Amino acid sequence: MFENTDRTELSSLGEFGLIKHLTQFIKIKNKSTVKGVGDDAAVIDFKGKQTVVSTDMLVEGVHFDLIYVPLKHLGYKSVAVNVSDICAMNATAKQITVSIAMSNRFSLEAIEELYQGIYLACNEFKVDLVGGDTTTSPTGLVISITAIGEAEPDELVYRDGAKEGDLLCITGDLGGAYIGLQLLEREKKIFLESPGVTPDLEGNDYLLERQLKPEARNDIKPLLKALEVKPTAMIDISDGVASEILHICTESKVGCSLYEEKIPIDPLTYKVAREFNLDPTVCALSGGEDYELLFTIDPADYPKVKANPNITVIGHMTNAKEGTHLITKGGSQTPLKAQGWDALLNK
Ligand code: ADP
Ligand code: MG
């Protein structure tokens, strides 16, 4: 792809040169993309389907730290988190736009790295890069991505459809991304104190990948379709499952009982959480950034999902009057809280 190696100043290309350079490798994959980069606007035709749009902005120093986040991973993750929002509507992502603001601290080669990650994610999630905007910023890097998807009107799933008695389901496992972040933060601290020391991240690839290179669950819409299950409500897990469950409960006007013993936690997440003196359950509930899907289904659909390795039932929805609860392994009932980051770190 990009073949530059030394440091090339962005100013040597100019804005239009840079845009041309970054977008030269685009190959349109989707029929719905009528016109991509190169005009005043992209043209998209979903032919009678409904269009789903979602935007996320990532700001250096707030959402990512370039000390330990490689730019290629950052590019991949920025696309993945947007595609994840489209998946959470039970829609299929088809196009993205990418807007960047960067200072002259960044070289052309650095921005190429970012775009390599973006291209990789576009291939993985089968979306077309159809536009964006390029501008300068006084210091850091800002990336804003918009994802566009399509769905048949009767396929779309909102947050407000959960009913009393519905089962609460989750894809994949939880807490890994948060523990990955703890590992990276620990190594950053050691690095800043004694720069000569090489980072000790061996054997923790799964956790680092969960944090640095999360995948959008674009496999779940086709899976549910094949199983003939339509969720009653759905949301993606960006902030921590406890907070996402509460969103569904509020929007759907129901309560819930979540069972601690049912929460899927990878053995490595469990082990490393313990090494950090963190409670694995709290990490899973409040850690965030796992980008799995949380959804509710009619209990009649239980036989269709029960043997599926991608899906775990973690609880059920109750009458709103009963409130929102976590049933601990010991059998006691505690209110489900959307814990903030501080509470998590000071535990
Ligand atoms: P305008 O002046 O109309 O905003 P630009 O010169 O900014 O147009 O952009 C020219 C074309 O390049 C448009 O199709 C735009 O969507 C696309 N584009 C601009 N910046 C980027 C970027 N960072 N990544 C991908 N496409 C981009
Ligand atoms: Mg522009």
Q: Ligand 1: distance of its center to the CA of 89 in Å?
A: 28
- Please say if the pLDDT value at position 4 is more than 60: yes
Q: Which whole-number Å values give the CA distances from 174 to 108, 283, 318, 333, in the listed order?
A: 36, 8, 23, 21
Residue 14 CB less than 6 A away from ligand 1: no
Tokens of 146: 């918009």
Which residue from 10, 25, 26, 37 has its CB within 8 A of the most atoms of ligand 1, so it is best to mutate?
A: 37
- Mutual angle of helices 14-23 and 108-124, in 10-degree steps: 30
Q: Which residues pair with 195 in a beta bridge?
A: none
**Distance separating alpha carbons of residues 301 and 308, to the nearest angstrom:** 12
Ligand (nearest to CA of 98): 1
DSSP category for residue 216: -
Read off the pLDDT of residues 149-172 as tens digits, 9 standing for 90 and up: 999 999 999 999 999 999 999 999
Whether the per-residue pLDDT at 320 is higher than 50: the answer is yes
The residue whose CA is least distant from atom 1 of ligand 1 is: 40
Q: Does the beta carbon of 98 sit less than 6 angstroms from any atom of ligand 1?
A: yes
In angstroms, how far is the first alpha carbon of the chain from the final one?
46
| Distance, CA of 317 to CA of 182 (rounded, Å) | 32
For residue 97, the ligand closest to its alpha carbon is 1
Q: Is 331 left (phi over 0), alpha (psi -120 to 50) or beta?
A: left
Ligand 1, atom 5, lies closest to the CA of 133
Q: Determine if ligand 1 sits within 6 Å of the CB of residue 202.
A: no
Of all residues in the chain, the percent with pLDDT exceeding 70 is: 98
Is pLDDT at 340 greater than 70 in this prediction? no
Task: Report the pLDDT value the prediction gives residue 342, as an integer from 0 to 100.
Answer: 46
| Residue to substitute in 18, 23, 57 for testing ligand 1 pocket (most ligand atoms within 8 angstroms of CB) | 23
Residue 347 pLDDT? 40
Task: Specify the pairing of strand 233-236 against strand 293-297.
Answer: antiparallel
Ligand 1 contacts CB of residue 3 (under 6 A): no
Treating both helix axes as pointing N-terminal to C-terminal, what angle do 205-212 and 267-275 enclose, rounded to 10 degrees?
A: 90
**Residue 38: CB within 6 Å of ligand 1?**
yes
pLDDT at residue 92 above 80?
yes
From the CA of 131, which ligand is nearest? 1
Report how far residue 145's alpha carbon sits from residue 130's, in angstroms, rounded to the nearest whole number: 11
Any residues with CB less than 8 A from the CB of 222 and at least 6 apart, and which?
none
Amino acid at position 60, single letter:
E
Residue 293 has pLDDT above 80, yes or no: yes
Instruction: Say if pTM beats, i.e. exceeds, 0.85.
Output: yes
201 pLDDT more than 90: no
Residue 1 confidence (pLDDT) = 85
Spatial separation of the C-alpha atoms in residues 247 and 334, rounded to whole Å:
18
- 91-105, 191-205, 252-266: which has the minimum mean pLDDT? 191-205
Any ligand 1 atom below 6 A from CB of 200: no
- Residue 261: its H or E element: none
Tokens 């390599």 sit on residue = 116
Q: Buried b vs exposed e over 15-41: b needs ≥16 C-beta within 10 Å?
A: eeebbebbbeebeeebebbeebbeeee
Considering only CA atoms, which residue is closest to atom 19 of ligand 1?
A: 133
| Helix, coil or strand: residue 159 | coil
**Which tens digit of pLDDT belongs to each residue from 296-317?**
999 999 999 999 999 999 999 9
Mean predicted confidence (pLDDT) in 50-58? 97
Q: What rounded mean pLDDT belongs to the chain? A: 95
Q: Which ligand is closest in space to the CA of residue 37? A: 1
Mark 315-347 as b/e (b = at least 16 C-beta within 10 Å). Answer: bbbbeeeeebbbbeeeeeeeebebbeeeebeee
Protein residue with its CA nearest to atom 8 in ligand 1: 40
Position 9 pLDDT exceeds 90 = yes
Which of 40, 58, 134 has most ligand 1 atoms within 8 Å of its beta carbon, as the pocket-test mutant? 134
Q: What number does the ligand 1 atom closest to the CA of 36 have? A: 14
263 alpha carbon – ligand 1 mean position (Å): 44
52 CA distance to ligand 2 middle (Å): 23
